[in-house]
């Protein structure tokens, strides 16, 4: 096993880790907004909104992220002439990849939010309505505070998934950890070390995060 490549390429790996974390963070943040909108539409009583939200959530969750990233990066620019703006000094495929990740995460987050809300016993809504609170007041003061306890750990887990799933963006040329590993393998003909090193970095990031999620979960159950 040859790990001499680390000396020459560790800076690239660090940069790659930055890209991976940046993409995952943006996907979580903006995915949350998209997911919230989709969730509100899904639980609303307007059937058009419900239908749109359902189609969005199902299409995203039932097709591979790789395909979504490819369509966003190559498909839309080709058939619709879409031009993505650049950001953070990366090229337009970076933007396309981030947008695909946001849309993907939004669908998963919509379901996290919905199941968080429906995990609160129906009696809570009935009780608070019978005390004279309006639907929105019940949501604001009774349902959402209880739902947050289920939602926060699940959102943290979504971030962990995003860190790992984002490896797919390497296939449209975004220079994340995986992309660096592939490039190092191509230039050193070392087919094992570069990937192992990438795995180690992913592991360190996700292991740290999952320990934090564990702490968060513990804290939330004590408070119950």
In angstroms, what is the minimal distance from the CB of 188 to ligand ARG? 28
Question: For residue 82, what are the contacts with CB-CB under 8 A and spacing of at least 6?
Answer: 76
What torsion, rounded to 10 degrees, do the Cα atoms 104, 110, 112, 114 define? -160
C-alpha span between 25 and 163 (Å, rounded): 9
In the list 93, 95, 104, 128, the residue contacting ligand ARG (rule: CB under 6 A) is 104
In the list 158, 170, 202, 213, the residue contacting ligand ARG (rule: CB under 6 A) is 158
C-alpha span between 108 and 17 (Å, rounded): 23
C-alpha span between 46 and 39 (Å, rounded): 13
In angstroms, what is the minimal distance from the CB of 164 to ligand ARG? 8
- The answer to the question of residue 105 lying near ligand ARG (CB under 6 A) is yes
Binding mask 9-28 for ligand ARG (x = CB under 6 A): --------------------
In the list 9, 13, 94, 108, the residue contacting ligand ARG (rule: CB under 6 A) is 108
Residue 144 buriedness (CB in 10 A; 0-12 / 13-18 / 19+): middle
Q: Smaller CB distance to ligand ARG: residue 16 or 35?
A: 35
Q: Which stretch binds ligand ARG (CB under 6 A): 47-55, 115-123, 127-135, 157-165?
A: 157-165
- Residue 156: how many other CB atoms lie within 10 Å: 18
Q: Smaller CB distance to ligand ARG: residue 100 or 143?
A: 100
Q: Which two tokens stand for residue 102?
A: 């946001």
CA 146 to chain centre: 23
In angstroms, what is the minimal distance from the CB of 201 to ligand ARG? 19
Structural contact between residues 216 and 208, judged by C-beta atoms closer than 8 angstroms? no
Structural contact between residues 87 and 19, judged by C-beta atoms closer than 8 angstroms? no
C-alpha span between 185 and 31 (Å, rounded): 33
- The answer to the question of residue 165 lying near ligand ARG (CB under 6 A) is yes
In angstroms, what is the minimal distance from the CB of 94 to ligand ARG? 18
- The answer to the question of residue 206 lying near ligand ARG (CB under 6 A) is no
In the list 46, 64, 78, 218, the residue contacting ligand ARG (rule: CB under 6 A) is 64
Q: Smaller CB distance to ligand ARG: residue 112 or 143?
A: 112
Interface with ligand ARG by CB under 6 A: which residues? Answer: 64-66, 104-105, 108, 158, 161-162, 165
């Amino acid at each position: 096993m040859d790990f001499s490549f680390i000396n020459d390429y560790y800076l690239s790996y660090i940069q790659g880790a930055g890209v991976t974390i940046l993409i995952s963070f943006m996907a979580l943040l903006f995915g949350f907004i998209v997911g919230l909108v989709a969730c509100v539409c899904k639980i609303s009583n307007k059937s058009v909104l419900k239908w749109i939200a359902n189609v969005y959530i199902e299409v995203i969750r039932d097709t591979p992220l790789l395909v979504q990233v490819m369509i966003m990066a190559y498909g839309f620019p080709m058939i619709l002439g879409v031009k993505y703006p650049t950001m953070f000094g990366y090229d337009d495929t970076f933007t396309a990849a981030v947008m695909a990740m946001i849309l993907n995460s939004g669908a998963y987050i919509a379901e996290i939010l919905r199941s968080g809300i429906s995990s609160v016993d129906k009696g809570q809504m009935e009780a608070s309505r019978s005390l004279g609170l309006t639907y929105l007041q019940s949501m604001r003061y009774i349902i959402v505070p209880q739902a947050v306890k289920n939602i926060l750990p699940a959102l943290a887990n979504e971030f962990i998934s995003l860190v790992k799933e984002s490896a797919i963006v390497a296939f449209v040329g975004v220079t994340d950890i995986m992309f660096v590993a592939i490039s190092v393998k191509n230039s050193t003909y070392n087919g094992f070390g570069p990937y192992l090193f990438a795995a180690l970095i992913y592991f360190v990031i996700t292991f740290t995060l999952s320990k934090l999620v564990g702490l968060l979960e513990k804290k939330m159950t004590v408070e119950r």
